[in-house]
A and B are shown apart, each in its own frame.
Chain A
Amino acid sequence: MIKRRVLLYYLCIFLLLFGCADPKILERISLAVLIGYDVESADKVTATVALRSVNQELQSIVSIASQTDETSKGTRIKASLDSTKKIVAGQARVILLGSKLAEAGITQALHTTKMNSEMSSGLYFAIVDGEAGPLIERKYENISDIGQHIFYLLEHNIEEQYTVSSTLHETVRDSYSPFIDLALPLIVQDEDDVHISGLAIFNGDKMVGKLVGNEPFYVVLVKEKYNAGSIQVIIPGAPLKKLSNDIPDQLAIAIDSIFSNRKVKLVNKDTPEFELDIKVEGRVLEIHSSITTEDFNVMEILEKEVEKEFKKEIDKIIKKTQELNSDILGFGEVYKANVGTKNVDKKKWKELYPKIKVNANITVELLRNGVFD
């Protein structure tokens, strides 16, 4: 009995020691919140890091460190030599890549990030239109913590589906898959402000172009399901002219609470030809004051026109991505699923994609409007 008790004591001591194995005391570490990579020369990267540390008075301080080296860990070691505190990356929320680096290829940056077990799969990737370093280093008038700012900027826009989701996991998934190309949010620094300007699209691991304005909406519409989207479309006023003479030639309408469902089917393996069915349900929120939506016909005309507009935009985006040979919408996945992995590989799909035909069928249903006709 006594022996057993002694053993228990030993055990407790060991377990206690086990708890102290690798302490990370908040006051003694710097948390990397935002990391930006830029290409410096052929084989060197510059990492710029927004660090957040807590001092003894419990104020949190944001500082910036920037270093150049061959590997990302190399830059971290160098940055550590500059810093009074240990730098840890477990709280990293966003990784920004400069567009030059993105054009040269992002595989290395992704691999580095994914290899490190400290990094959460939920962190966001984004491309900077320009260089990531200056964007992070700049002192903004209205932004006290650039790391938090960019994280929230991306998070809420992704949640509201204004841009595609770009978590580390999804980015790595799409970049390793041979049958889909990456699309990442594009961030731009504009004087004293940082905002999302659109999507950066990739061919393989190299950035080849961007989609701006309304185009990200349609990318999300084809790629994912909407459960709370909103869009403003401009439709020609002509079909509604007979209702009232006040209607302008170009009519802007805003639709929100968009629910959408999409289905992609391969109808012809040889061309290849795809059938893309998209069903959209939404609510009219803003429309020209002279139109009353009470009339059944009006709604029908509006739906028709919006469908046309959607189709036009989607066709335009597909054509654009075909020119750049960047299958961001993932038709390759559907093709592979139908013909089998033995009959298609990355190279063959890259040859096929510019030739594919997509028949987009869009059904728009405007369920309701606001509280005033």
Chain B
Amino acid sequence: MSQAIQSKQYEKINAFLVFFIICGCQIGVGIHGFQRVIYKDAKQDAWLSVVLSFILAHIVVFVMFKTLEKFDNLDIYGIQREVFGKILGSFLNFVYVIYCTFAFFAVLKNYIEVVNTWVFPYVNPQFIAIAILLLIVYAVTAGFRVVIGISFFSFFFLLWIPPLLIYPLYFTNINYLLPIMEDIIGILKGAYSMSFTIVGFEILNIVYPYIKDKEKKSAEKYAHFGLLFTFFIYIIIMLITLMYFSGPQLERVIWATLTIFNLIEFPFVERIEIITICAWLLIILPNLCLYLWAAYRGVSSVYNLEIKRFTWIFISIIFIITFFIKTRTQINTMNNYFGKIAFIVVFIYPFILFIFASIKKRRKKGTGDTS
């Protein structure tokens, strides 16, 4: 167990916090406009795609825990080195770090694009990037417990979304949901397109060793609860969106959720979506922090690097990349690629890893018995 995490006892967290980590990491920028992408594939059955993809996510989480439980105190980086050997394992760790970086960048860039489009069309996106990145440095360098604390807080910023969605109910038309189950292939495709939005729970792979040993058993339960919560948020938004927009209109609405908020008017706030977007920074913050931290865990499994130094290097790289991806088309292409990669990393790879891990464990046991 060369790679076992020597996490200090005070760094360990309670199992119920897994719930907040899942919610914090899953709900990010995808929620602003996932409806359109899925609608293009699944039409009025898009909500079934959401259901399907979440069922798949539950299965993946189940398999993830099965894998993690085999190696008590290892995160995915340790497991990969254990299972695939030093060279291939290190390579896969590198890929995983790249994936986390990509996820970080996708969240950041999409958020900046939303801010640029809806709130400040004249502000330089790099300027917004610096402001957010510095905030993240501040959070991440303070340590793992602060990152978890941010996930915990950001959860409460999510709670005001469901009540806001009562207002657009007046404009819904149930006929837009009919007929149900028209195109099965389309629903499957829609579930596949959902991967950009649904990912985030793979962070469990890295968080797992940090859960208090006594409570590791119940962590899985909380992970499933977390998934259920995000499922409810997504399904409510999806159903309301489908009933609120007519089909061809939805195909052209880029950020359907924000467009729904656009209609809501209070006597004291006329444009609720402006506030929503600004407050959304607090919702994507755990996303960004956790991905950065996950990337750090990966790098630190190879190099002995201080988190402070790593964070500065990391955000400098991210900041430089923001110069190269500027237009909406580039961002959309990036999202497409990320969706594809995320599908493989999050939905397919855990099964492969599980199979290899089982073989490895069994063989070890076998040799142990003979000796």
Contact = CB atoms under 8 A, between A and B. Distances in A.
Nearest to B118: A117
Given A121-B259, A174-B246, A338-B179, A8 B138 contact: yes
Interface stretch (B20-28, B60-68, B96-104, B247-255): B247-255
Interface string A150-171: 0000000000000000010110
Interface in B110-132: 117-118, 120-123, 127-128, 130-131
B358 interface: no
A11 B171 contact: no
Interface in A332-366: 333-334, 336-342
B248 A21 contact: no
A176 B249 contact: yes
Contact of A177 (B44, B138, B249): B249
Given A169-B171, A333-B175, A337-B178, A11 B249 contact: no
Interface in A130-165: none
B245 interface: yes
A341 B127 CA distance: 46
B316 interface: no
Given A117-B117, A341-B43, A341-B182, A176 B263 contact: no
Interface in A310-343: 330, 333-334, 336-342
B276 interface: no
A173 B263 contact: no
A176 B246 contact: yes
A340 to B, nearest CB: 5
Interface string A11-28: 100110110011000000
B69 interface: no
Q: Is the interface of A mostly helix, strand, loop or mixed?
A: helix
B165 to A, nearest CB: 14
Interface residues of A, number: 35
Contact of B44 (A14, A17, A167, A341): A341
Interface string A167-203: 1011011101110100000000000000000000000
A126 B70 CA distance: 66
Interface string A108-132: 0000000001001110000000000
A121 B182 contact: no
Given A7-B138, A177-B247, A122 B265 contact: yes
A294 B135 CA distance: 75
B122 A177 contact: no
- Which of B175, B178, B265 is packed against the most chain A CB atoms within 10 Å? B175
Nearest to B168: A169
A248 interface: no
A340 B179 contact: yes
B230 interface: no
A239 interface: no
B307 interface: no
A11 B245 CA distance: 41
Given A22-B120, A336-B175, A341-B43, A173 B270 contact: no
- Which of B121, B182, B247 is packed against the most chain A CB atoms within 10 Å? B247
A272 interface: no
A43 to B, nearest CB: 22
B301 interface: no
Interface string B228-266: 000000000000000011111100100000010011010
Contacts of A121: 259, 262-263
B120 A177 contact: no
Contacts of B262: 120-122, 169
17 contacts: A7-B134, A7-B137, A14-B130, A15-B131, A21-B127, A22-B122, A117-B117, A117-B121, A120-B265, A120-B270, A120-B271, A173-B246, A177-B247, A334-B175, A338-B178, A340-B179, A342-B182
Interface of A: 7-8, 10-11, 14-15, 17-18, 21-22, 90, 117, 120-122, 167, 169-170, 172-174, 176-178, 180, 330, 333-334, 336-342
